[in-house]
Chains A and B, each alone.
Chain A
Amino acid sequence: MRTLELDAPGWTDHRAGQHLDVRLTAEDGYQAQRSYSIASAPGDGIALTVERLEDGEVSPYLVDEVREGDQVEVRGPVGGYFVWDGDEPEPVLLVAGGSGVVPLMAMARQRARVGSETPMRLVYSSRTWDDVVFRDELETLGVDVVHTLTREQPPGWTGYSRRIDAELLADVAWPASESPRVYVCGSTRFVDAAADGLLALGYDAGWIRTERFGATG
């Protein structure tokens, strides 16, 4: 993972949860484009936290190659659906699979930035403790964080150690009676499992906003 800070003249300030498209053009004219979520809160610049995907076309360049001062082509901010502005009254449940935490981090940062007292809980599935992105900062934002580590747990780990399913969500999600707003971001398989689990708890499909990221980077 690497966080890149972009300076984009003429940029319209983004909303928490939005993404942008990055387009790279090779010398022979070949172009590759991918979407990346914005990790920073609105008003706090554009920070992209990018996961390097093996065999990817864009992410290895962004993580390993790009240097300060380099230019990339971007389009955005994009999205009016997977967004949270900070003034919505309902409690918020964020459900992250791996690097799906990035747009949810923008929401957690936005909550802290605007001084919102809306209850916010993040359920965050990672493979190992070392894979947890924003691990230290997450403890400082006033958001309840529930980790599950699906592949390997550190010695003495007392948290969850399985994939997010209906049973785990039943333990940690807000009761359906509170009509929470939910944002789920991760791989397609992760998002489907989490959304199914929430529907099984009696959540209304309209409360659940999802964003899937692709298997190619």
Chain B
Amino acid sequence: MIGIAELRLDGNAVGGLLGELFGVDLTAMPCTCEGCGAREQMACLDVYVGAGIVVRCCHCDAVMVRIVQGRGRTWLDLRGVASLELEE
């Protein structure tokens, strides 16, 4: 059995998908947690990949992003993100 701790990846793992959705690579972009206010680059956040994808704050563990894909569409829930900074 693989423990939950070993299933934890980081934001690099969703770089390709988010890059496709946003049209720009987000891995180095700062992202602020709605829960604790920590500001981290997307690559540093904790990522769990299962039937969907959950991105959690690496400081307070709050859920920041949820992504589910199926039936030809993508559901993107960003409720846990206070702000996402995109480079011009």
> Using a CB–CB distance below 8 Å, which chain A residues touch chain B?
19-21, 35, 75-76, 78-82, 187-189, 209-216
A189 touches B5 (CB 8 A): yes
A21 to chain B: closest residue by CB: B16
Which residues of chain B in 5-60 are interfacial with respect to chain A, using CB atoms and an 8 Å cutoff? 5-13, 15-17, 19-20, 25, 27-29, 41-44, 49
* Residue numbers in A under 8 Å from B25 (CB-CB): 78-80
Asked if B12 contacts A211 (CB within 8 A), the reply is yes
Q: Hey, which bits of chain B sit against chain A, CB under 8 A? A: 2, 5-13, 15-17, 19-20, 25, 27-29, 41-44, 49
Return the contact of A187 from the options B6, B12, B19 (Cβ within 8 A): B6
Among B6, B7, B15, B17, the residue within 8 A (CB) of A79 is: B15
* Contact count A vs B, C-beta below 8 Å: 69
Which residues from chain B contact A75 at a C-beta distance below 8 Å?
A: 16, 19-20
A189 to B3, CA, bound (A): 11
* Distance A105 CA – B2 CA, assembled complex (angstroms): 28
With known contacts A81-B28, A81-B43, A214–B16 Cβ distance under 8 A: no
Q: Are the CB atoms of A215 and B2 closer together than 8 Å?
A: yes
Contact A210 B16 (CB under 8 A): no
Residue of B nearest to A37 (CB): B12
A81-B42, A211-B10, A212-B10 given as contacts; is B28 within 8 A of A20 (CB)?
no
The 4 closest A-B pairs by CB, nearest first: A81-B43, A80-B28, A21-B16, A78-B15
Distance, CA A19 to CA B7, complexed state (A): 19
The answer on a CB contact under 8 Å between B13 and A214 is: yes
